[in-house]
Amino acid sequence: MTLAASRDGYGAALLDMANDERIVVLEADLGKSTKSCLFRAEHPNRTFSMGIAEQNMMLVAAGMASTGKIPFASTFAIFTERGFEQVRNGIARPNLKVHLCGSHGGIHTGTDGSSAQSIEDLAIYRTLPNMTVMHPCDDLSTKALTKALVEHDRPSYTRTARNKTKRIYSEEQANSLEIGKFSIIREGEDVAILACGVMVSEAMDAADILATEGVKATVVDVHTIKPFDHDALSSLAQKCGAIVSAEDHSIIGGLGGAVAESLAANHPTPLEQVGVKDVFGMSGQPHELMEHYGLTMANIVDAAHKAISRRTA
C-alpha cells in the first residue's frame, strides 16, 4: 500500500508543465508547504514570492492571466479566503484563467487547530460563477487534474491535503480522469458512496466492511465539486436508491450540499451526509479529530445502513 499526500501531486504537476513558457507560479510565503517550492527551485525566474499578501497575489495572478500567462497561485486553503474579494472581482468576474491551490484544507490538517482548518473553502468557491472547484483524493489524481487545467478555459480552485493517505489510482488510471466527471472506483447496487479528498480512502474501507455484511456499495471519487456531474448522480440514484456523501468539509455548501441540490432537482433519493456539522474544528491528531467529528469509515458504514433503511421503509 502506497501512502502519499495530494499536495505532492500538485508540486509534481508544476514541474511537469514547466516546458510551457506560459506557466508562472505565485507563492504567499508557503511554497514549502504547498510544494510549489519544487518549481521555484528549477525555475526561479518564473516564480513570484508575494510574501504574506494573499490579496495582492490574487490580483497579480489576474494581471498575468490578462497578458496570456497561466498563473498557478497557492497558499493554505484558509489563507486563500483572505483574498476572496479579489478572487471574486479580479479573477472570477472577468473569467481570467487563474488556477488557485489551497493546501492543508479540512479537519484532517490536525494540530494547526480551528483557525487553520478551512471547512468552508469548497462551499465559498462553489458559489462563484465561472469557477471550477476540485478536491482530488491522492497525489497521482492531483497531478493529472492539475495538468489538465492548462487547457481548461476558466479559473479554478483546487484543495490539497498535507497528510498522507492511501493512493487510490495508478498513474494510468489518474491520467484518464476528466474535470467535471465522476470517477467510479467500485461498483455495487445497494448504496452509492460519493466522497472527495481524504474521505475517498475511508469510503473504500467502508465499502469493504459493508461487503462483509452483504451490502454492495458503489464508491465514487467526486474530484470535481463544480461543475457537478448531475447526469452521473441521477444514474446512480436510479441504480442504488440510496446515497451517502462523505467529505472533510462542512456539510453546508460542500460536496453534501452539491449532492443534495442535484438530487432534489433531478432524482429525489434518500441521502445521508458524512461531514463536519455546523461547528469549527479544534487542535488534535488527525485520527482523533476524524473520530471526534464523525469522519471515519465506521461513520460511512452507519450512514449507508441508514440511507438503505430510508429507501426500503
- Hey, which residues does 274 pair with through a beta bridge? 246
Active site residues: 54
Alpha helices (H) along the chain: 6-16, 31-34, 37-42, 54-66, 77-80, 84-86, 121-126, 139-148, 171-175, 199-212, 230-240, 255-266, 286-292, 297-312
Q: Characterize 221-256 residue by residue with b for buried, 16 or more Cβ atoms within 10 angstroms of its Cβ, and e for exposed.
A: bbbbbbebbeebbbebbeebbbbbbbbbbbbbbbbb
Give the three-state DSSP class for 114: coil
Gap between the Cα atoms of 191 and 171, Å rounded: 28
State the DSSP code for 23.
E
For 60-71, letters b (16+ CB in 10 Å) and e give bbbebbeeebbb
Q: Exposed, middle or buried, 283 (CB in 10 Å: 0-12/13-18/19+)? A: middle
Cβ atoms within 10 Å of 172's Cβ, excluding its own: 9
Cα(231)–Cα(5) distance, integer angstroms? 30
The rounded distance, in Å, linking the Cα atoms of 178 and 223 is 9
82 vs 54: CA distance, rounded Å:
6
